[in-house]
Amino acid sequence: MKFIHIADVHFDAPFTAMQTRNLANQRRLEQRESFKKVIEYIKRENIPYLFICGDLYEQEYIKNSTIEYINKLFEEISNTKIFIIPGNHDPYIKNSYYKTYNFAKNVKIFTENPEKIELDNVDIYGYGFEDFYMQSEIIDNIKIENKEKINILLTHGDLDGAKNNSIRYNPVSKSKLKALEFDYVALGHIHKKIIEENIVYPGSLISHGFDELGEHGMIEGQIDEKTKELSLKFIPIDEKEFIEENIDISQIYSKEELIEKINEIYFPENKYIKIVLTGNKKADIETFDILKYLSNTNIIKVKNMSKLEINLEIIARQNNLKGIFVKKLLEKIENEPENKQKIEKAMEIGLSAFN
């Protein structure tokens, strides 16, 4: 049997990181495009099963029209059985579309009560979120009933506390899962692709920002009906990729020179870029508003991680407003070392105002 496994599409997410360049809408279009590519692949390859393991959309932002769009695509693959797990962003709550919307006949939506769907040669077990949090270990109530068949488990949750706060997001222990002896465990929640033998996070279908670097896509799996042997393939879907580019600015002497230098760098068009400034920075180079001067609009963030190269001690001894300002902030850095970066940014903005 063949299947496609996706998770964490997050339809209608606000993509706040993209708003610096007004690209949030663009990203939502790319999100629809990517989902459509999954459906087209399933249609072309005649894949009988689609597993969507949580966070298909964002409860807070999802529009009726987007649900219509998703469902139309589901209807286009009417020969494919679609299994949906509600996640912590799209829980099966009272006013959820999962409850109120009339989805296509080939769609099965799971709830918090584990269910087993019996098909010809495979049993599919699943459970998901009925609220924005789920703490109980529902996994303890699951047991394979027919070991002769192919058994697949679908859920959305945190494997061995991969994330902080994992206790609130359906914690599942790997050892418990292994002991259950499913042939495949399809998970969602962690946005990074993780393949631990037959326990799999496909990662988010598309990247949601600079904390999700690298390729994003779906898992195509096949389980041999006789030997139960599993083979997996990752298929990239997201045509854009988030990347970080470090620039050492120690040898740059003005803001203009820095802008020119960044504008000379070639980036392929399918990248969203974060520029990270490193090294030592001359005191009068302002970096906080540099983004608006950069010609490549796919650069959506400039982060200054460089050290201020300036003798602040000398300025702090000056008996004027600037001296008092620097002295105060230097004291603040000493008292709150955890806020050093923020305070240095304030120092930079303040000094540029004085200049």
Alpha-helical runs (H) found in 181-281: 255-264
Angle at 9 between CA 296 and CA 4, to 5 degrees: 120
Residue nearest to Mn ion (CB): 55
Round to whole Å and give the CA distance between 98 and 91: 8
Considering only residues 26-55, where is the footprint of Mn ion by CB under 5 A? 55
With contacts defined by CB under 5 A, how many residues of the chain interact with Mn ion? Answer: 2
Assess 8 for contact with Mn ion (CB under 5 A).
yes
Q: Which of residues 263-282 bind Mn ion (CB under 5 A)?
A: none
Q: Does 90 bind Mn ion (CB under 5 A)?
A: no
In angstroms, give the least distance from the CB of 130 to Mn ion.
17
- For residues 197-226, which are near Mn ion according to CB under 5 A? none
Q: Write down the least CB distance from residue 91 to Mn ion, Å.
A: 12
Q: 3-state DSSP helix/strand/coil percent for the chain, to nearest 5? A: 30, 25, 45
Instruction: Output 93 or 104, the one with its CB closest to Mn ion.
Output: 93
Question: Please, which residue, 133 or 354, has the CB nearer to Mn ion?
Answer: 133
Task: Please say which residue, 12 or 55, places its beta carbon nearer to Mn ion.
Answer: 55
Look up residue 312 and give its two tokens.
């602040």
The residue (of 8 and 348) whose beta carbon lies closer to Mn ion is: 8
Give me the least distance between CB of 156 and Mn ion, in Å please: 8
According to the binding rule CB under 5 A, does residue 12 interact with Mn ion? no
The CA–CA distances, whole Å, from 153 to 84, 127, 162 equal: 12, 9, 19
Helix (H/G/I), strand (E/B), else coil: 113: coil
Cβ closest to Mn ion, residue 110 vs residue 325: 110
Name the minimum Å distance from CB 84 to Mn ion. 14
Name the residues that contact Mn ion, by CB under 5 A: 8, 55
